Structure 1
Amino acid sequence: MREAYQEQLGKLAEELASMSTMVGTAMERATKALLDTDLSLAEQVIDEDSQVDEARARAEEHAFGLLALQAPVAGDLRTVIATIHAAEDLERMGDLALHVAKAARRRHPSAVLPTDVQAYFAEMGNIAVRLAKSVGSVIRSQDVETARGLEEADDEMDDLHRHLFTVMMSPEWSHGVAAAVDVTLLGRFYERFADHAVAVARRVEFIVTGKMPST
């Protein structure tokens, strides 16, 4: 019985790792759609967002089933509860990629981003995809040190996000209020994507150590 239960927990972890791949791919495509004004790619991200929602629903159903049928205690209970919260974070990451894709679609055929901030968003997209991949690795390995390492990438994202405001507040900014609003919102989407990735990593650390890391 115990072996079968551990197998179910392993399947639950794999469902989360699969979600991390999905949201990483979504953000990668959404970023490309944003930078290349690629409407078809934006539409693909929008259409496939429901798959992330369905994956969260499956993971939660699986987790609640384990709670109801197995009555887990101690470490196993931590795993199940943390999984439910992590699935929510991963779904939010998918929603943030969706918001980026919708911005690209809304402005099409015009570019959303002025040329002088495109490089920053290209790098933010790279960091976001890297974080999503790292989350999947952490979920599978439950490596606490790797989980803590995600904080560095999150700091990189925060630095880029803050720098966007420096660019927009510069006297050289000539793109108007509408473009500034778009840049502000999009920067926030990437920054929050990174925050949720770190939240998932912290939940993995909680599973392993029994202590939730301080923020």
Structure 2
Amino acid sequence: MKPMLRAAYRENLEAFNRDLIAMCDTVCTIMDHASSALLEQSLDDAETALSEIDSLQEISERCEERSMSLLALQSPVAGDLRQVLSALYVVENFERMGSLARNIALLARLRHPAPVYPAPLQGYIEELTRLVREMGATTRALLDNPDPDVAVELHNIDEGVDDMRAFLQTLVSDRKWEYSTREAVDLAMVARYYERYADRCVNVAGRMVFLVTGLKPEEYLRQRDEPDYDPDEKFATIERKFRR
């Protein structure tokens, strides 16, 4: 690639990365307002979350246009190609995260001024929103500094979200559930939305691991924690053992 073309390519790639960060910031903002709408029965927060969806869509479309330019017109080398494809994967996850946050805001608006869930369960929802907010902040930090060790730790927080969702699912399906069927269904939906949002954060973190190391998260962990691990040697051992 000629120097001038290379400079233009790098400029476009940096602009793409800035849009990616802006998209993450917008997603986190939408989820923060959606969570406030849920926790506080705030109609204003619900409307703010929903209004931010348009901004998210604009950034997403801009990212798509930039990616087409980078891939089709400027023939990136292998390392840059991995970066562009990783960014596209991240954009897709951010879009879905925005949709999940939007669903929470819509449900809060639909039930307003009544709460979505029974008041005695407030503490559980607060913990769920706290975990997801932490995951969103970590995901944002990874865009600035794609540290694979930080990225793989998101799995630990995600397990906490999975546990909360499983607990709430058990709660609403218990015969001793003392609230309405509507509240049971709404609570199960909310827990599912947060769980899927958290899963998308893990997906983005996994892509950051791949971007830095070229490895899937589980492969990176294996190499990090078992420095002498050699898959080729292990496979050869298995082959020798069972060869006839």
TM-score category (smaller protein): over 0.9
Structure 2 unaligned spans of 5+ = 220-244
Q: Is the 8 A contact 2:152 2:217 kept in 1?
A: no
Which of 122, 125, 130 does residue 134 from structure 2 map onto? 130
CA contact (8 A) 2:26 2:52 kept: no
Verify the 8 A CA contact 1:21 1:133 in the aligned structure 2: no
Q: Which residue of 2 aligns with 1:92?
A: 96
Q: TM-score, normalised to structure 1's length? A: 0.93
Number of residue-to-residue matches in the alignment: 215
Match among 197, 204, 218 for residue 200 of structure 1: 204
Q: Which stretch of the first structure deviates more once superposed, 172-181 or 188-197?
A: 172-181
2:67 is aligned to 63
- Determine helix, strand or coil for the equivalent of 1:111: coil
Name the Cα RMSD after superposition. 1.7
> 8 Å contact 1:100–1:189 — kept in the other structure?
yes
CA-to-partner distance for each residue in 1:85-116, whole Å, 9 max, x for gaps?
11010011111110000000111111111112
- Does structure 2 retain, via aligned residues, the 8 Å contact 1:17–1:135? no
Query: 1:177 aligns to what?
Result: 181
Query: Segments of 4+ in structure 1 off by > 6 A?
Result: none
Q: Which has the higher contact order (CA 8 A, sep 6+)?
A: 1
Pick the aligned partner of 1:47 from 48, 51, 66: 51
2:32 matches 1:25: no
| Cα shift at 1:154 | 0.8
The CA deviation at 1:32 is: 0.9
Greater Rg by CA: 2
Is 1:160 aligned to 2:164, yes or no?
Answer: yes
Q: CA deviation at 1:3?
A: 4.6
Instruction: For 2:162, give the aligned amino acid.
Output: D
Quick one: distance in 1 between partners of 2:164 and 2:196?
A: 13
Which moves more between the two structures, 91-100 or 8-17?
8-17
- The percent identity for this pair of structures is 37
Deviation (angstroms), 1:4: 4.4
Q: CA deviation at 1:5?
A: 2.9
For residues 3 and 208 of structure 1, do their structure 2 counterparts lie closer, same or farther at Cα, with a shift above 3 Å needed?
Answer: farther
Would the aligned equivalents of 1:20 and 1:133 in 2 still touch at CA under 8 Å? no
Say which of 5, 10, 14 aligns to 1:6.
10
